[in-house]
Chains A and B, each alone.
Chain A
Amino acid sequence: MRILIIEDDAAAAGFMAKGLGESGHLTDHAADGEDGFEMARHGDYDVCVVDRMLPKLDGLTLVQRLRGEGIETPILFLSALGEVDDRINGLNAGGDDYLVKPYAFAELLARIEALVRRRDPGIVETHLKVGDLEMDLLARTVHRDGAEVAMQPREFRLLEYLMRNQGHTVTRTMLLEQVWDYHFDPQTNVIDVHISRLRGKIDKGFAVPLLHTVRGAGYCLRA
């Protein structure tokens, strides 16, 4: 996909472009807010990564203007301001996600890819399927290879999120944010334990595992 990086730190933008390029994406770079605004307006991008603090035009205003012109490109804010209200301001201005510097590249990549998927307007799904794992969102049931798997409500939400993002890496922070709705940093491996529970339920006894650990990044559900 095509990604516009609006970031005044040239070195940071360079690393980001290199990393995204190696992951198979095309990137453009704007070094200040005004250039970034023009490029985002006229270019055809799948995602914009916008730094909060930019010369000439700050990130918040830039995104407000883009949204004001009806440009709906998904936007990921990058910020060195990590406080709760800054995050809220960013999302209120029209951003779709918010990542605090410094971040792990895997986290950035996972979030960028998740943003594009989230944007797919698509019809309301009632049924999710990954290999022989099936989820009925109306009946709230899960079957693997035809056999029902009993799920607790949170496990169901966790699996639903993984299934909606099938084939893509989701990070622990994304899971805590999306499944539990908390923005904080659990020091121990609480999320890992939940995942291993889930794995025990859907993968145990099957020759082909569906839930994979992506080293240094997070988890991926794929057939």
Chain B
Amino acid sequence: MPNLSIIRTTTFRLVLIYLALFALSAFLLLGFLYWSTAGISTGQTDDTINAEITGLAEQYRANGLGGLVQIVAERSRNQRQSLYLLTRPGGGNVAGNLTRWPKAATGTGGLLEFTYQRPVGGVMTSRRARARHLPLGRGFQLLVGRDIQERLKLEKVMRTSLAWAVALTLGLGLLGGVLLSRNLLRRVEVINRTSREIMDGALDARLPVSDSGDELDRLAKNLNEMLDQIERLVTSMRQVTDNIAHDLRSPLNRLRARLEVTLMGNRSQAEYRAAMEETITESENLLATFNALLNIAQAEAGLAEGSLADFDLSALVADMAELYGPAAEDKSQTLTGDVEAGIQICGDRHLAGQALANLMDNAVKYTPDGGSIALVLRRAGAQAELIIADSGPGIAEADRELVLDRFQRLEASRNSPGTGLGLSLVRAVAKLHCAELVLEDNLPGLRVLLRFADAGLAPTKEQTVG
């Protein structure tokens, strides 16, 4: 099969096309060379014949037949390439180096081509010649020609070389093409095999990347990155499913148990009412958890093209400071907002709002009464830094990575309300907005830093800080 598949490869097809073009151009080039060389030498022969005939005609006019016979006889002795024959009326030879008038003389434009016999090295051989006929009057005929055997031989050699050149070009090209595509094919085959393996479930398999950095390497690298992304998405989806199964099942169970217990025995109207109200509260918590999970999944999967838009981060942060101000004040906390105006980022305003609200919720919830919370948004070069710092208990360094995971709640906070998903959403939203999320020690307290990589300048708009 591999022999057949070579023919089907793109490289091989390209090589074939290239080869055909190359062979055609080589053929045309050599053909032109041959045609012009042959043409020139034919022209030279004809010119020589014509010139000689003109000269001899002049001799004839000037010196009569006797003079012509003398010159022809003389030239016949000296010249090897020129052929002459002067015949008298009736057909007898008068002078010349041709033994007889050629019978099969063919040709155009007064020029004849024929075969004649001539001794070469003592052996009579047939040779081709080209000649012109000049009637002299009174039945005398003159034939002047040139031997073209050498020229024909040269032309034949040229034709053979031409054929060889074309054949060699084709052969080498074909060989090169096969070698080239076999090499390429082998690498593509590796990609195909690995893809197959991945489709069969080996999600962690990756394509081999060599160091050459060529197109196939780049392709393999991109495919690997794509596979990483897919693996992340699949893992995250699996996690969502697991989490839904794990963390929604127990509250649902509680809900059902409460209703069942309430239905056992007779209870007063007020008791029923209380149980139902508790059930509603519980279902609202369930709903909040469910929504948070979906929000995280949405943020992690990335947003649809259409829902990304530039929005004014400064306005959002100012709104949040204003929204949470009274809640902080209720706990005698000092909430300070230091918001640089006009910072704009691209993303989803509502998701960003939810993430920031989660951080503010945590800050207000965990900071003790009388503590302080600082909300800062400032430009740092091309980046924007958003800081939420509180004077609460903070998070131990070892736990900082942990709290970003879903449903991770530190022991200390188990009893306060919440889904345990707040910081996971913050992390997902940060990633969606190309922001770096850093949890730091505020000495004391927690300092959450969100560094937005690409913050633009909002169109001039008055800042409303409530």
- Which A residues lie at the B interface, using CB under 8 A? 82-85, 88, 102, 104, 152-154, 180, 182-190, 193-194, 196-197, 216
Contact = CB atoms under 8 A, between A and B. Distances in A.
Contacts of B466: 152-154
Nearest to A184: B354
B326 A190 contact: yes
Nearest to B358: A187
27 contacts: A83-B294, A84-B351, A85-B304, A85-B307, A102-B287, A153-B464, A154-B466, A180-B319, A180-B323, A182-B319, A182-B349, A184-B353, A184-B354, A184-B357, A185-B288, A185-B291, A186-B361, A187-B417, A187-B419, A188-B327, A188-B361, A189-B327, A190-B323, A190-B326, A194-B326, A197-B326, A216-B280
Contacts of B319: 180, 182
Contacts of B330: 193
Nearest to A186: B357
Given A185-B354, A187-B418, 4 more contacts: A83-B307, A84-B351, A104-B284, A188-B327
B323 to A, nearest CB: 6
A154 B318 CA distance: 12
Contact of B326 (A85, A185, A193, A216): A193
Contact of A187 (B288, B298, B322): B288
Interface of B: 277, 280, 283-284, 287-288, 291-292, 294, 298, 303-304, 306-307, 319, 322-324, 326-327, 330, 348-351, 353-354, 357-358, 361, 364-365, 417-419, 422, 464, 466
Nearest to B356: A184
A81 to B, nearest CB: 10
Nearest to B305: A85
Contacts of B464: 153
A88 B307 contact: yes
Listed residue (B277, B323, B330) with the most chain A CB atoms within 10 angstroms of its CB: B323
A182 B350 contact: yes
A83 B306 CA distance: 12
A120 to B, nearest CB: 29
Nearest to B466: A154
A84 B327 contact: no
Contacts of B324: 190
Nearest to B281: A216
A186 B350 CA distance: 11
Contacts, number: 70
B291 A82 contact: yes
From A183, A186, A196, A197, name the one whose CB has the most chain B CB atoms within 10 angstroms: A186
Contacts of A152: 466
B217 to A, nearest CB: 37
Nearest to B418: A187
Nearest to B315: A181
Contacts of A190: 323-324, 326-327, 357
B contact face: mostly helix, strand, loop, or mixed: helix
Contacts of A154: 322, 466
B418 to A, nearest CB: 6
Contacts of B348: 84
Contacts of A85: 303-304, 306-307
A35 B297 CA distance: 36
Nearest to A179: B323
B281 to A, nearest CB: 9
Contacts of A82: 291, 294
B4 to A, nearest CB: 49
Given A180-B319, A193-B330, A187 B357 contact: yes
B367 to A, nearest CB: 12
A182 B322 CA distance: 13
B307 to A, nearest CB: 4
A143 to B, nearest CB: 22
Contacts of B364: 188
A188 B365 contact: yes
A83 B298 contact: yes
Cβ-closest 9 pairs across A and B: A184-B354, A85-B307, A193-B326, A154-B466, A193-B327, A183-B350, A182-B353, A187-B361, A190-B327
Nearest to A157: B466
A15 to B, nearest CB: 14
Contacts of B326: 190, 193-194, 196-197
Nearest to A182: B353
A32 B384 CA distance: 50
A184 B350 contact: yes
Nearest to A105: B280
A88 B348 CA distance: 12
A173 to B, nearest CB: 12
Contacts of A83: 294, 298, 307
A20 B53 CA distance: 124
Contacts of A180: 319, 323
Contacts of A185: 288, 291-292, 354
A185 B361 CA distance: 11
Contact of B277 (A88, A183, A186, A216): A216
Nearest to A183: B350
A83 B296 CA distance: 11
A152 B324 CA distance: 15
Contacts of B419: 187
Of A82, A153, A188, A194, the most chain B CB neighbours within 10 A belong to: A188
Contacts of A193: 326-327, 330
A186 B417 CA distance: 13
